[in-house]
Structure 1
Amino acid sequence: MKNKKLFLLIIFIFCLILSSLGAYFTNYQAQATLALQQIDTSHRFIPFKLPFTAHDKKQFQQIIISLNESANETNLNYMEKHYYEGYPIKDGKPDYNKSLQKQNFYVYKLDQTQFLGNFGALGSNKQKYSYTYPLLSGYQVTIQPLAQALHARKNFEGVFFLETLEQEKYSHFIKLLDKKLSQRFKTHYALSDYQVTQTTQLLLPSFEVDPNLKTIINYLIVFIVVSLLVYLLLEWSKLRLYKLNGHSFTRSFLAIAIKPLGVILLAFSYDLWLVFQGLDLSELLSQQLLVFGLAFSGAYLLMLGMYCISLDELKERYFSSILFLLLGGAKLLLLVTLINSLAPVGNIVIDSYELLKQDTNPKLKDYAEIFPSVIGSDAVNSFDNYEDLKNIYKLADKQGALLFDDTGSSYIQPPDVPRELADISININYLKAYPLYDVNNKKIKLDPRSKQTILVFPITKKNLVAKRLQQERNISKISRKYGVKVMYSDPRYNNNFKNIVTGKNIANEIIHVIPPGNIRPKINDPILNILSGFEHDRLLFALKGTTLAKLKQQWDPILTKYNLSDNAPQFIRYDHGASERLKIELGDIFAYSSSQGLLLLTIISLSFYCLLSFFNKNVYNIGLKNTLGYSRLRNYWPYWCFLLFQYSLTPLFYTDVYLSKTIYFTLDGLFFVLEFFILNLFISYLESEAKKNVK
């Protein structure tokens, strides 16, 4: 009786959770749609961008003056949108538990724009409009006069919108603007340089409901249906009595199934209450009806089968055995799903742990890095931001920073990449920290003013030189213009030439040395892979005894000058990179926990039924063997064999080559131990209840 009440309570609670999550999901989508509609500018504005970005407030002020003059002469209104995406800063550090998306609109003539109509604010007279959305955590929209854009603004990246849809007026405005900018900045651009050609340049927010939410909802549905079926199986003895007393199937079905099905309907009535509160949940109600229909159909078919074979001992035994195996198979599939879904999380944890172990080089504590790199007002990439990154690198290089990029090394690149192209990029500062010796055991020294491409080949790879030189001439303008300088090292003399991060000896790698004079002003060979957002960035800033706070204070004005301060929320010690990444990844692990917990509950409930079925069939033999002193392992050996057989089959479903076999099999073993322990507790409970009934 207790088991049945427990299953009824479980069904009610999880149906209520399903209703709540469904309501949240529906409302989240509604708010996301509203938010995108409100910032939609396509019905009243033509977007445009500036062909260059201001690096300080003075330049930005001159740009605004040019825009205002052009707007006045054409009698048009315009606005600028400044976007920020990243983490809130708390006590100087990013708060990884939250995220921010801010859409800030600065309107030239705020009282005249039709844009306020998107928010239902036409005719109002405020100096600032601010909108937040309860379910879109961290998302905010502000609308204020353009004059506010000059106050407390560190970053001057943004996109502009001209309030007209007439192409002639737009062209006239852009020509006037270009003329005024040319006068003030001695530049000239084509009309096409002002055009927004990609959707990403509109700086639109992205709203994505928790990707685990749909998974949770699906698992909840499975769990509810399984709990319902298990409840009905526990009522088999009552069904036999009904049939024995001449009750029809319909009468028997209603007598037994009315309670669990009524509980499901009661829980789903919560959605009706929400509808009366004014929420549009028509789609959700349809889904709930579908779930109820699925539960009803499953219950009907199961009980029909049970009713047909009731009172026939042989058929009951076959039916029970088949059902036992089917539920065991379902549990196996769910178990494989759970292991596969947790394996990526295991990868994250193990990779992070390995990285933490690798950060043992004492020299790493003398360097810092920018981490994480966030989108900010605009994402950084090595092509579009090449000039800015180049200037940042040059300043860091003068201050003793190291450049180390092993993404092209032979131990990272796949085997199909030609070995002559596999190399490691370093700067001269790195050679000072880790000297490299030539074939005569002399330290390799390079001229920092050199503009040549410098390649150091280990003598063991001398046969690759001709192929690499041919490739350099084919793909590198710098190599064609200034030539390639080839030097040779001897691995025998370079046991201490190591990867500063992992401590791995790299004496057998081709080394591409980049002196300051080789950083070209044009985007011919974009080689700087810095501010990458990885926990081990390629650029290691020298601390030289200073603190991280002072280093940030020193670099903040420089990063602001190149509009990169929004992408670089903090400096961290280089040897703390892996632990900092682990903080971010832990948030993902917690996000997984709810859906995986529900799946685990479903698996355990199936295990409980399978064990309960085995116990009920063998209760007499189990009691007798317990009296004779049989061990639990021996007493339940058929079930333990069945359990072991299930777990031994899971490796057959290992198909994802991107998942570590070690992690997959480790999780398989851990779940076996966990289930074995839980089932032992359940056996103790069943045997205790059986003894009470005997008394």
Structure 2
Amino acid sequence: MYKKVLKFLFILIDVITVSLWLIYIINQHNNIIAANEFDLTNNYAQLGFPKYQENNVDYFKQLQVIQKTSDQLKIPFLKRTYYLGSGINYEHYNYNKHIQNVLFEVSDLDNTALKNNFNVDFHNGNTYSTIRTSTTSHHLKKYSNINFTVKQISFTEPPKSREGIFFIQTQDISLIQKYIRKLRLNYNHAFKTSYKLKDFQPTPIYSVSDDLSLESDNIKTMAETMVIFQIVFFIIYIFSFIYDIGIYKLLGFNSFRILKEIMLPELLIGSLLPLTGGIIYELLERETSIIWDSVSLLLLIALLELVFTYGLVTLLQYIPTNRLIIKQSYARKLFEVSFISKGLLLIFLLSTALPLANTEFQILKNLSHPQTSTYSKYVNFYPNMQGYNEELSPMRLTKIEQKYLYPKLENDGSLFIDTSQIITSNPYYQRSVDINTNYLRFNPLYNLSNEKITINQNEHRSIILLPQKNMKYRSRISNYFVDKLKLRPHFVIIKNNQYIFDTQGRKKNNYAYINVFTRKNVSKDVILDIFTGDADDTIKIPKKGRSPKQIYRHYLSILEKYNLRDNLPQIIRSDQSRKADLANIFSEVYVDIFVIIISFVMFIMILAIMMSLYFSVYGRTFTIKQTLGMSTFRSMLNYWLLWLLQIILVIVVLSVFIQKITDPPVYLLFITAIFIDFIVSLLTIHLFSRKAVGRFLNE
């Protein structure tokens, strides 16, 4: 019976291992095709412009400038617009939506080099898309998790977004330089400007691999884990048939014939089942180009399995036959090493479930630190998305937000509070808090005369509120401002130990000084840490009796004008930031839910298989102890010792080689894994112990 179970497990493990590698090959194939469709570096050169257009009129004027330049030099152009986010529906924002849309708007579809990317002959007047809509003339096959649309550029229809990157269809350096010179002349003439050539240099953009969010590599991690586990299982499997090997050796069988008797049918079944399913899927999806890759993978895995097990059986040939036949236990020590090493396999496997661990950590964090009501009358933007931004210039977006959106928010009474510096490892005198003048009305601070501090919005000087106890740091702080920021601060001495509220509404007084920003003293060189992407953002907008949707609608025009709607897609109540943060974190789990479920199933399966192998190795000893009246715990004392040694090994590996076990998500994942392992051990002991006793008593 035990050997039948082993053979079944052999097939099951082989099916899972081969299936995971097949899924990985298909995912990689799709990712490569999607990346090639997106990548324009082989046939196109990027254009740059002095400024981003703030309205459709100027956008179309810029478009006409590009068209005029292309007509003059007979060089086609296109615009690539790439969106990454969860949509811009602020009224019904869905954290679980993960959208990747690429739009190619082409000047001349008949002659576009995009046909090399998609292997499609494009024609003017048609729309090609992976999304089936009423306006789609031709359907493109979708690869990976990205949607593509290719159409002719329009000079009348409002653009999907004024953001995006323009490319010209040439890589000839002389033509590119000539195009840019001509583009500058046409642009300055159309807009009545005097920009120089350097203003038309393209901004660096993300590489294709960094820009696209392709299918996860977690499947590969699981496949690699299963290979390691399969090696361990094969060793135990061969040693479990050591008596049979001795008999076959006595009968004169060679190593290959022994393998044929004990594992070849199982190997063929375990390999052919997933291969057949994979080939059927590839035929249905018309992906015949990777069928040979799948077959090659199967042959490689099967060959490696045969070589490995053939080597083991050949080594056993050197053991005297009489020692094989008397069932001398070579498997016991091997099992002990394998069981202790099981923890290392679980580390790789559980690493794919880190999004779940992050969610678990946030839930516990929220339970231990309840949401405060400090900012119950305020709202803030959340989350902060990449949206249509492809350029490697995060400061550009921050500067736009600070220059155009922040003044409007501040004028409406919004608070700015940044306490991030007080938790850094910087010298104490540099641990500051940044606030605006509105914050002083929300949470008044007092000078040494016990008077409320008021700062005029038109104050040009840098204002520093310095607690009396920190007067000794005054010169250091002043020198820091002069040397680093080229500013000479004005100090206002305040009473000691006055609390300020951080972004989460918690009281803090461990600051060295408070830096107050006014409308006039925020220079272009000073970048405020605004719109951080945290649920507890540094900007708090007053509700004034309005709902978050009404407030977002109030700012919608300025968001659209400066292309910020895709980056700041919704507004949440500040006193519900924890709830919003959890919803966003759960969305990460939702993306990887398939991988997480597979990881969990494999985790349970490995635990159960190792327990089954334990009883195959120690079943006789366990039965004897049970018949002598020992308790189940005492009968399995060696198991629990192995279990503890496994945990110690995992702690050492995590602490020394991977990452600190004290990192909260890793710590929670580790504790959860131990708990599951313990529960599964108890259940499988209860299940297998009775069968083990019955089996060995009947022998």
| Structure 2 match to 1:68 | 67
Q: How does 1:51-450 map to 2 (within 5 A)?
A: 51-88=50-87, 92-116=91-115, 118-122=117-121, 124-131=123-130, 132-147=140-155, 150-151=157-158, 153=160, 155-167=161-173, 169-200=175-206, 205-206=211-212, 208-242=214-248, 251-267=257-273, 269-270=275-276, 278-304=288-314, 308=319, 311-312=322-323, 317=328, 319-337=330-348, 346-347=357-358, 349-351=360-362, 353-355=364-366, 357-358=368-369, 360-378=371-389, 381-383=394-396, 385-409=398-422, 412-414=423-425, 417-450=426-459
From 501, 504, 520, give the equivalent of 1:501: 504
Q: Provide closer, same or farther for how the CA distance between residues 53 and 671 of structure 1 changes in structure 2, counting only shifts above 3 A.
A: closer
The offset of 1:546, in angstroms, is: 0.3
- 1:489 aligned onto 2:498: no
Name the SS of the counterpart of 2:500 in structure 1: coil
**Inter-partner Cα distance in structure 2 for 1:120 and 1:472:** 58
Query: Using the alignment, how far apart are the partners of 2:3 and 2:87 within structure 1?
Result: 49
Please report how far the alpha carbon of residue 467 of structure 1 lies from its aligned counterpart in structure 2 after TM superposition: 0.9
Counterpart Cα distance in 2 of 1:274 and 1:442: 76
* Contact 1:339-1:664 at 8 Å conserved across structures: no
CA RMSD between the two structures: 3.4
Unaligned runs of 5+ in 1: none
The amino acid across from 1:141 in the alignment is T
Deviation at 1:274, TM superposition (A): 6.6
Whether contact under 8 Å (1:67, 1:177) holds in the other structure is yes
Aligned to 2:32: 33
The 8 Å contact of residues 51 and 189 in structure 1, kept in 2 or not, is answered as yes
Distance 2:663 2:145 in 1: 37
Could you say which residue in structure 2 is the equivalent of 1:456?
465
What is the Cα deviation at residue 469 of structure 1? 0.6
**C-alpha distance 115-637 of structure 1, shift in aligned 2 (>3 A):** closer
Work out the number of aligned pairs and report it: 675
Other-structure match for 2:662: 660
Q: Closer, same or farther in 2 for the Cα pair 1:673/1:130, shift >3 Å?
A: closer
Moved more, 590-599 or 497-506: 590-599
CA contact (8 A) 1:89 1:95 kept: no
Alignment CA distance shift 1:233-1:94 (3 Å): farther
Deviation at 1:403, TM superposition (A): 0.7
CA contact (8 A) 1:253 1:300 kept: yes
Q: 1:313 to 1:232 in 2, by over 3 A?
A: closer
Seen in structure 2, the aligned counterparts of structure 1 residues 384 and 687 have a Cα distance that, compared at 3 Å, is: closer
| Alpha-carbon distance between aligned partners in 2 of 1:646 and 1:45, rounded to the nearest angstrom | 55
Q: Residue 500 and residue 177 in structure 1: after superposition, are their counterparts in 2 closer, same or farther (change >3 A)? A: closer
Q: Judge conservation of contact 1:331–1:607 (CA < 8 Å) in 2.
A: no
The letter for the 1-side match of 2:496 is: P
Aligned counterpart in structure 1 of residue 625 of structure 2, from 603, 607, 621: 621
Answer yes or no: is 1:609 the counterpart of 2:617.
no
Q: Give the alignment's TM-score, normalised by structure 1.
A: 0.87
Q: 2: CA distance between counterparts of 1:90 and 1:15?
A: 46
The 3 A distance-change label for structure 1 pair 631 and 471 is: same
User: What letter corresponds to residue 138 of structure 1 in structure 2?
Assistant: I
Find the aligned partners of 1:320 and 1:76 in 2 and give their Cα distance: 72
Bigger drift between 552-561 and 70-79 goes to 70-79
Query: 1:413-463 deviations in whole A, cap 9, x for unaligned?
Result: 12xx22222211111111111111222322211111101111112222221
1:469-520 deviation line (CA, Å, top 9, x unaligned): 111111224x1xxx3111122234x2x4332514132264421111112223
Cross-structure match for 1:570: 570
CA distance in 2: counterparts of 1:622 and 1:219, whole angstroms: 35
For 1:681, the equivalent position in structure 2 comes to 683
Greater displacement, 59-68 / 392-401: 59-68
- Map 1:578-589 onto structure 2 (within 5 A): 578-589=578-589
Work out whether residues 78 and 160 of structure 1, in 8 Å CA contact, stay in contact via their aligned partners in 2: yes
Whole-Å separation in 1 of the counterparts to 2:37 and 2:255: 57
- 1:537 equivalent to 2:548? Answer no
TM-score when scaled to structure 2?
0.86
The whole-number CA distance in structure 1 between the counterparts of 2:553 and 2:183 is 36
Structure 2 partner of 1:49: 48
TM-superposed deviation, 1:205: 4.7
- TM-superposed CA distance for 1:74, in Å, is 4.0
1:9-28 deviation digits (Å, cap 9, x = unpaired):
44434433444443333333
8 Å CA contact retained: 1:228, 1:299 = yes
Q: Which amino acid aligns with 1:446?
A: I
C-alpha contact 1:15 1:267 (8 A) present in aligned 2: no
> Alpha carbons of 1:397 and 1:359: their partners in 2 closer, same or farther (altered >3 Å)?
farther
Amino acid at match of 2:395: S
